[in-house]
A and B are shown apart, each in its own frame.
Chain A
């Protein structure tokens, strides 16, 4: 079982940092826990994300914590990342992760998923792509959509902060029309790209747009999307994680910004294909949800 890779060699235990020992002793791994993992673990269990290096109060960091806490099978999960703010957090994740280049995340994930299915036909291996809006929608749009067309069994999560934040605040395809950012000094001239709708048109079995304002909702959507990706086809989560730095908010104001947008640009959008809906019902019956 893959959880074994977190077991510490007794010979080295005395020199191991506490955070590594905690991962073995107090993290929730699906293989050993009777109870379902979830965001409630955040209060007293060891998190899979160690301290992160994002700005204080960054909603993206909170969202990643919810996601990692809610992964149904973390010890068998590979996360593929792209360049951006998220790539600052990735080295802090205690899972096998990949940062390859900027925009090719869904192509790399396709190769990984197909190979793991080939090499481990009797095991469940979840492959999750986690990238920003620039990576998903601009530079990587081709690879994102093509992985949907090909029906790759991966979950794609876009952390939409509506801006290229890591490079200093430039307009992205996901920026709302009219917003003044760098490279759009007169305001953005075209509409926010409706990626959650493009995903549906491109053949995903599940597409949800939401903000990270409600942790339990994020956790539920993540579990559903991973379960569907295992059996049915590609799934897509479009998650608003505002860049408080670039829109001029204080560290404690991210949550309120997300709550505001719950009623505006990120009002509920949820598409579940008929086949996926049936499968979710089955999962509920079996206690997987």
Chain B
């Protein structure tokens, strides 16, 4: 396998190169039945990926094995197991800085071990993709589904998208490369799913054929030159401004960080296109009772919505598909008739509840209730949702 086998029409593995629009919206699809880990392999297979670095941690290990198989099969350019997640994310940074379309996966404690890398990724403006299969964080020791780790990533300057199910993981992880690599965006993207609930659950999914794949990444369209000695300037700086104590150095650092966050905001039009909107809503459009959620909590909220409908209570579910950038306008629009907003979450801190409150502060009169909150691997049955609704509203079933 060599990059030299790539032509204008085909990538190095012989797949026909197509646009993201064609791959996501136009190519005929067939029904398959697979887990989140398996569907990720199918997505990466169709993305002309140059590089992937892996490390074992439950529940993302299988996805990482399967990307390795893609390398062995000739679809992914380079692949190896790193020494630990801090090393892996540094290796990913090296790959991406040198001009590779790069993907990796991690979970829970691995995410925290790698933490210093994420703001460094966004600061170096690399468009790599991290597939995050969220799990609990120690202590006590846990391997169960829980998305507390996402709260640690919110201010890293990386984009964060959240997929509800296996199908969304497939479509999002393809769109993610395209949006992250836009020259006016060009920041890392974290595509999150709830571990086990998505990574290990088999669902029906619609997939395009596997003989087509995304156009390759063009590092020479990046806002910063790739580290390959092929593009000017030969020297990037003249002075080590970060080490100096003067206004210019402070202003440089501050404006750079603002620019990273502006770049994340600039991804919105692209994300609206490729994701068919930053939020999706289901249920009664004008309901006074609204659930705002992401990931599999959306799925549970929808079940709650159906149960409530049986009791004659109208409700609506607002699924946030991007967390960074946060869909402020879409959330405000979707909750404009709300009297009650519930934010069901799979963690103890209620990070999404805080996000929703911050976003709607001064703009909505709705009572916001950050419940139910389950964690540590507990499930969120519809009954738990209904119980919170009845305890915190004056809504009564027929």
Contact = CB atoms under 8 A, between A and B. Distances in A.
A119 B120 contact: no
A110 B234 contact: no
A53 interface: yes
B110 to A, nearest CB: 15
A111 interface: yes
Interface string A74-99: 01111010000001111111111110
B230 A115 contact: no
B100 A115 contact: yes
Given A87-B240, A118-B51, A143-B87, A96 B3 contact: no
Given A91-B238, A143-B83, A77 B229 contact: yes
A121 B84 CA distance: 28
Contacts of B97: 98, 108, 111-112
A96 B234 CA distance: 6
A23 interface: yes
A98 B53 CA distance: 19
Contact of B120 (A100, A112, A115, A146): A100
Interface residues on A, range: 35 or more
B90 A104 contact: yes
A104 B229 contact: no
Contacts of B117: 101, 104
Given A114-B95, A119-B100, A120-B228, A108 B238 contact: no
B243 A88 contact: yes
Contact of B236 (A80, A88, A91, A107): A91
B94 A107 contact: yes
Given A5-B230, A87-B240, A94-B235, A118 B90 contact: no
Contacts, number: 149
Contacts of A110: 91, 94
A88 B97 CA distance: 21
Contact of B234 (A89, A95, A104, A146): A95
B237 interface: yes
A111 B90 contact: yes
Nearest to A50: B238
Nearest to A116: B98
B233 interface: yes
Interface residues on B, range: 35 or more
A125 interface: yes
A111 B93 contact: yes
A285 to B, nearest CB: 28
Given A107-B87, A109-B94, A114 B78 contact: yes
Residue of B94, B99, B120 ringed by the most chain A CB atoms within 10 A:
B94
A197 interface: no
A78 B227 CA distance: 7
A115 B2 CA distance: 12
Contact of A90 (B3, B234, B240): B240
Nearest to A2: B229
Residue of B2, B117, B238, B243 ringed by the most chain A CB atoms within 10 A:
B238
B232 interface: yes
Contacts of A41: none
Contacts of B92: 111
A115 B90 contact: no
A279 interface: no
A119 B87 contact: no
Interface string B1-19: 0111000000000000000
A22 to B, nearest CB: 12
A30 B109 CA distance: 47
A118 to B, nearest CB: 5
A138 interface: no
B80 interface: yes
A115 B240 contact: no
B90 A101 contact: yes
Interface in A104-152: 104, 107-116, 118-122, 125, 142-143, 146, 150
Contact of B95 (A80, A87, A112, A143): A112
B98 A119 contact: yes
A104 B232 CA distance: 26
B116 interface: yes
Contacts of A114: 51, 78, 80, 94-95
A121 to B, nearest CB: 6
Contacts of B235: 50, 91-95
A6 interface: yes
Given A101-B116, A111-B90, A121 B229 contact: no
25 contacts: A2-B230, A5-B231, A76-B229, A80-B94, A87-B240, A91-B237, A91-B239, A92-B235, A95-B229, A96-B225, A96-B227, A98-B97, A100-B90, A101-B117, A107-B83, A107-B90, A108-B91, A111-B90, A111-B93, A111-B98, A111-B100, A116-B228, A119-B99, A142-B84, A146-B82
Given A104-B117, A110-B94, A115-B100, 4 more contacts: A23-B234, A112-B98, A120-B228, A142-B84
Interface of B: 2-4, 50-51, 53, 77-78, 80, 82-84, 86-88, 90-100, 102, 116-117, 120, 124, 225, 227-241, 243
Q: Which 5 A-B pairs have CB atoms at the shortest separation, nearest pair first?
A: A111-B94, A107-B90, A115-B98, A91-B237, A104-B90
